[in-house]
Structure 1
Amino acid sequence: MQIKDFKVDKSLKELTSHRTVVLPVACYETKIGDNIQGKIPLHWHEEIQFILTVKGEAMVQINEEKLAVKEGEGIFINSGCLHSAEDVSGDCVYICLNVSPHFLLPQELFSSYIYPYISATNLPYISLNPREEWGKNILDSIMEIKKLINEISPFYEINITSLLTFIWQQLIRNGFQLEFSQAEVEKHMRMKEMLNWIHQHFAEKITLGDIAKAGRLSNSECCRYFKKILKTTPINYLIHYRIQKSLPLLQERDSNVTEVAFKVGFNSSSYFIEKFRKSMNMTPLAYKKNRN
């Protein structure tokens, strides 16, 4: 089994290129358990995303909300929203469709039919229910786009653009009341700034005050942000991130557990082992042996 490393940059923006050779569109099948971290880590991208679970069940987090997406169900994730996915069933597979918002409709229609929706702060996601006609239409269209990309039949690019227009029409015709809150925009911008700072400095000695300063917040407000959006504390997030960064290092044949601990910011190998065991249900050495 190939283990895939889901890559993001220091601001959590996904580095995967979401496009085919000629279109700013990507549609592919993902098995969550194949990722090196055993899940799809927290990230964001400018493209809108549609997910269709084809096997098992995924727990998807979008900003501060979590929801289960069961087999046959789907979800729309809006542009710029932080999101992650975990495998609930142990065998979860989903189809992922990523599309540049600028490709959905002709540019003359962007300001009227695209921008208000991707900038609305009350629409981080929309659940796609196969038992509702519009939801089923979108989910069926995702499958058809995946088929077109795989087969590359004549005029497949035109067929994909037609389906994307249909998908977007099905999504927005339901009369969502759009809201825009500058406070919400600011909140998630500060959250991304703090996460960005952690990802740049995780190997260094870090205090709660350092993280709060990166978000221009007090220590207590910083803790409130992390608790509300990520359901954890800033320091626990830092520890978890350090452990995730240790995984590819432990897979190197000549790596040493103590050296890896210091490389990712732990000042004690015993503390690293304790936190690693709690997070991964095994010791770093056992993980290393299993992966080599």
Structure 2
Amino acid sequence: MQKTEFIIDQNLKEMTKHRTDTLPVACYETTIVNNIHGHIPLHWHDELQFVAVLQGTVLFHINDQIISVSKGDGIFINSGVLHMAEDHGGNNNCIYLCLNLTPQLAAPSDLYVKYVHPYITATNLPFLYIDGGIAWGARILEAIRLIRTELVSQAPYYELKVASALLDMWTLLIKNGYALEHDASEMTRSRRMKDMLQWIHLNYADPVRLEDIARMGQLSRSETCRYFKQILRTTPMQYVMDYRIQKSIELLRLSDRSITEIAYEVGFNSTSYYINQFRKSMKKTPLRFRRELAEK
């Protein structure tokens, strides 16, 4: 099975260019287990995202919430929102359509300020569950499937059909959403979390202390721990550990460096400690992981 890699930058921003030759939109069929990490890692992007689950059940981690989305339903994830996805229960069968579009494509330019901008800046709309069992939800999910077909076939006038379907989807979403809020404290909370994660991603290979992370978020040690526990459901130092393991996976896959070289390159000061932590996270040693990659 060909493994895919999900590229994000040091600020957790996804680097994929979501567009065709003529439209800033893309729609992918995603099988979670095919990602090299076995899940879709934590990230954000400027684009709006609509998801239609085709098979299995997906757990989306969005800010400090976990949302279970099963076959026949979907979810909308707003621009700039931190999120990740994993296979619920480890059944390795979760497949979904993922539609990403630039916010400017959701409505004509003359209507953007009135009908799009207030929604992408609202602090109470990180996501919206799309229930396929109700009329407006079913129409959005059907539109995602139609757009996927049009983008793949690229038959004559497909751009107009895609643009029309996107406008219908956006109209349905904002008509059936809820009253918008713009909370300055929530915006500050999100910015601080991104600042701390960016610092970790730039400095993970060096010695990392809780005090350093807290300073980047302009928080106390206890507040920093609370942020990580609420939003990422882990501790700051465990996040550093997990990120180092993730970076080592990239090196195991893409380089011929030795296990010891990789351990020190991603911030471990002991090969044996690295191997133990890798086994704890991945249920196998780094060497076995590399051998299994070579066999595929």
TM-score, normalised relative to structure 1: 0.98
* Deviation sequence 1:187-214 (CA, Å, 0-9, x none): 0100000000000011111111111111
Partner of 1:176: 178
Partner of 2:9: 9
Residue 246 (str. 1) matches residue 248 (str. 2): yes
Partner amino acid, structure 2, of 1:202: Y
Partner of 2:200: 198
SS at match of 1:251: helix
Q: 1:175: how far off?
A: 5.1
Q: How many residues align?
A: 292
Equivalent-residue separation in structure 1 for 2:156 and 2:287 (angstroms): 52
Equivalent-residue separation in structure 2 for 1:148 and 1:252 (angstroms): 35
Q: How do residues 86-105 of structure 1 correspond to structure 2 at under 5 angstroms? A: 86-88=86-88, 89-105=91-107
Partner amino acid, structure 2, of 1:207: R
Equivalent-residue separation in structure 2 for 1:138 and 1:175 (angstroms): 13
Which residue, 237, 240, 243 being the options, matches 2:239?
237
* Deviation sequence 1:117-146 (CA, Å, 0-9, x none): 111111100001110100000000000000
Q: How do residues 148-227 of structure 1 correspond to structure 2 at under 5 angstroms? A: 148-174=150-176, 176-227=178-229
Equivalent-residue separation in structure 2 for 1:96 and 1:251 (angstroms): 26
SS at match of 1:249: helix
Partner of 1:266: 268
Equivalent-residue separation in structure 1 for 2:13 and 2:252 (angstroms): 24
Equivalent-residue separation in structure 1 for 2:67 and 2:175 (angstroms): 23
Partner of 1:42: 42
More displaced stretch, 250-259 vs 121-130:
250-259
Equivalent-residue separation in structure 2 for 1:143 and 1:240 (angstroms): 35
Equivalent-residue separation in structure 2 for 1:50 and 1:4 (angstroms): 21
Partner amino acid, structure 2, of 1:39: H
More displaced stretch, 54-63 vs 246-255:
246-255
Q: 1:254: how far off?
A: 3.1
- Provide the aligned C-alpha RMSD in A: 1.0
Partner of 2:123: 121
Equivalent-residue separation in structure 2 for 1:136 and 1:238 (angstroms): 40
Equivalent-residue separation in structure 1 for 2:249 and 2:255 (angstroms): 12
Contact 2:24 2:105 in 1 (8 A): yes
SS at match of 2:66: strand
Residue 142 (str. 1) matches residue 144 (str. 2): yes
Contact 2:128 2:177 in 1 (8 A): no
Partner amino acid, structure 1, of 2:83: H
Residue 284 (str. 1) matches residue 286 (str. 2): yes
Equivalent-residue separation in structure 1 for 2:54 and 2:176 (angstroms): 25
Report percent identity of matched pairs.
49
Q: 1:251: how far off?
A: 2.5
Q: 1:255: how far off?
A: 2.5
Q: 1:251 to 1:129 in 2, by over 3 A?
A: same
Q: 1:140 to 1:281 in 2, by over 3 A?
A: same
Q: 1:253 to 1:204 in 2, by over 3 A?
A: closer
SS at match of 1:97: strand
Can you give the 5+ residue segments of structure 2 that lack an aligned partner in the other structure? none
Equivalent-residue separation in structure 1 for 2:180 and 2:164 (angstroms): 25
Which residue, 237, 255, 258 being the options, matches 1:256?
258
Partner amino acid, structure 1, of 2:157: F
* Deviation sequence 1:19-51 (CA, Å, 0-9, x none): 111001011111111111111000000110001
More displaced stretch, 237-246 vs 168-177:
168-177
* Deviation sequence 1:48-82 (CA, Å, 0-9, x none): 00011111111111111111111111000001000
Q: 1:253 to 1:14 in 2, by over 3 A?
A: closer
Equivalent-residue separation in structure 2 for 1:26 and 1:114 (angstroms): 19
Equivalent-residue separation in structure 2 for 1:275 and 1:250 (angstroms): 15
Which residue, 124, 131, 134 being the options, matches 2:133?
131
Partner amino acid, structure 2, of 1:183: S
Q: 1:175 to 1:53 in 2, by over 3 A?
A: closer
Can you give the 5+ residue segments of structure 1 that lack an aligned partner in the other structure? none
Partner of 1:26: 26
